[in-house]
Structure 1
Amino acid sequence: MKQPDDRELSIGEFARWSRLPVSTLRYYHEIGVLLPARVDASSGYRYYESDQLDTAVLISDLRQLGMPPADIAVVTGGGDLSVALKAHRNRLISEMEDRERAISRLDELLATSRRRTRGRVTIETRPPAVVARLRGHVSVASAAKDVRRLIVRLRAQLRTAGAANPEWYGAMFPLDLESDPVEVAVYADVDPPWPHSIPIEELPGGDFALVSHERNTPFASAYADLLEWCETNHRQAAGVVLEEYRSRTTTVAVSLEEVQ
Structure 2
Amino acid sequence: MTAIVAIGEFSRLTHLSVKALRYYHDIELLEPAAVDPSSGYRRYSTDQVEQAHLIRRLRELHMPLPGIREVLAASDRDARDAALREHLERMEAELLRTRDVVASLRELLLPSGEIAVEYRFAPSFPAFAMAQAVARDSIDQWCETAFDRLYATMADADIAPAGPGGATYAPEFFENDAGEVVAFVPIAEHDRAHAVEIGTVVDLPAHRFAIAVHHGPFADIDRTYGALGSHVAEHDSGLSEPIRERYLVGPGDAEPADYRTEICWPVG
TM category, shorter: 0.5 to 0.7
Render the CA deviation track for 1:35-60: whole Å, top value 9, x for unaligned. Answer: 879xxxxxxxxx99956664343232
Per the alignment, residue 202 of structure 1 pairs with: 202
Aligned to 2:236: 234
Where in structure 2 are there 5+ consecutive unaligned residues? 33-41, 188-193, 251-258
In structure 2, relative to structure 1, the CA distance for the partners of 1:59 and 1:239 (3 Å cut) is: same
User: Does residue 266 of structure 2 align to residue 255 of structure 1?
Assistant: yes
Deviation at 1:135? 4.2
User: Which residue number in structure 2 is paired with residue 137 of structure 1?
Assistant: 135
Distance 1:169 1:137, change over 3 A: farther
TM-superposed CA distance for 1:118, in Å, is 1.5
TM-aligned CA distance change 1:171 to 1:98, over 3 Å? same
Distance 1:238 1:35, change over 3 A: same
Once the two structures are TM-superposed, the CA of residue 195 in structure 1 deviates from its matched residue by 8.8
Divergent runs of 4+, >6 A? 15-18
Per the alignment, residue 43 of structure 1 pairs with none
The structure whose Rg is larger is 2
Whichever structure has more helix as a proportion of its residues is: 2
Distance 1:175 1:59 in 2: 45
- Separation in 1, partners of 2:30, 2:211: 55
What is the aligned counterpart of 1:121 among 118, 122, 127? Answer: 118
The number of residue pairs the alignment matches comes to 228
- Aligned to 2:242, the other structure's residue is in SS state strand
Q: Counterpart of 2:121 in 1: which secondary structure?
A: strand
Which residue identity lines up with residue 211 of structure 1 in the other structure?
A
Alignment deviations for residues 149-184 of structure 1 (CA, whole Å, 9 cap, x no partner): 22333356568x7553988654433325332x4235
CA distance, structure 2, for counterparts of residue 131 and residue 220 of structure 1 = 24
Percent of paired sites with the same residue: 18
Give the conservation status (yes or no) of the 8 Å contact 2:212–2:228. Answer: yes
**What are the ranges of 5 or more consecutive residues in structure 1 without an aligned counterpart?**
38-46, 140-145
Taking a change above 3 Å as real, the CA distance of residues 138 and 109 of structure 1, as seen in their structure-2 partners, is: closer
Contact 2:211/2:263 (<8 A) preserved:
yes
CA-CA distance at 1:240 after TM superposition? 1.2
In structure 2, the residue matched to 1:143 is: none
Q: TM-score, normalised by structure 1?
A: 0.62
TM-score normalised to the size of structure 2?
0.61
Partner Cα distance (2:112, 2:60) in 1: 40
Return the alpha-carbon distance in structure 1 between the equivalents of residues 149 and 65 of structure 2.
26
Instruction: Name 2:103's counterpart in structure 1.
Output: 104
Contact 1:151 1:169 in 2 (8 A): no
- Does 2:123 align with 1:147? no
Comparing 18-27 and 228-237, the one that deviates more:
18-27
Equivalent residues of 1:172, 1:241 under 8 A apart: yes
Q: Give the residue type in structure 1 aligned to 2:228.
A: L
> Match of 1:216?
217
Distance 1:162 1:173, change over 3 A: closer
